[in-house]
Copies of this chain bind each other. A is one copy, B any other.
């Protein structure tokens, strides 16, 4: 119910921070700290921009999806991204598939396990002028992570990219 309510409010364009109560009784916000970014209701139906595997500490396999504004900009190589662009990075546990490998000539199949988190990047050049025009949020099970150091690390990393990329790592895969 909580998530449905979030989505309904988001779909009405309400972006103000409000509190909701989880099933365990804890109090969490539905939007990220610093940026106030929420989880768009329809992000899972967005078009695919590209895919990647992040080894190391994260060790995930990921899909990068985008709303229509973002996908159009990726396809047309428009930089900077226009306001209204939203990019969703969906990460899953990177796991060897024993199920597939029993049927393949050698162990070679790596698939998406349980979801780890979803990161949302929202382009609003005025609202987020101090972070290259991008606002960030990270969500676990639909709940906005409230760690300020985590959220500060988003732009701290993305700003290492040169401005011709408009602070976005992903390239569009045709």
Contacts and interface: CB of A to CB of B under 8 A. Distances in A.
Nearest to A68: B45
- Indicate how many identical chains form the complex: 2
Interface residues of A, number: 40
Interface stretch (A10-18, A21-29, A55-63): A55-63
Given A112-B173, A157-B103, A173-B90, A61 B53 contact: yes
A115 interface: yes
A78 interface: no
Interface of A: 44-48, 50-56, 58, 61-63, 65, 90, 92, 94, 97, 100, 103-112, 115, 157, 160-161, 169, 171, 173-174
Given A55-B108, A90-B173, A111-B171, 17 more contacts: A48-B65, A51-B61, A51-B62, A51-B112, A52-B109, A53-B53, A53-B94, A53-B110, A54-B109, A55-B109, A56-B105, A56-B106, A58-B108, A100-B169, A103-B157, A103-B161, A112-B173
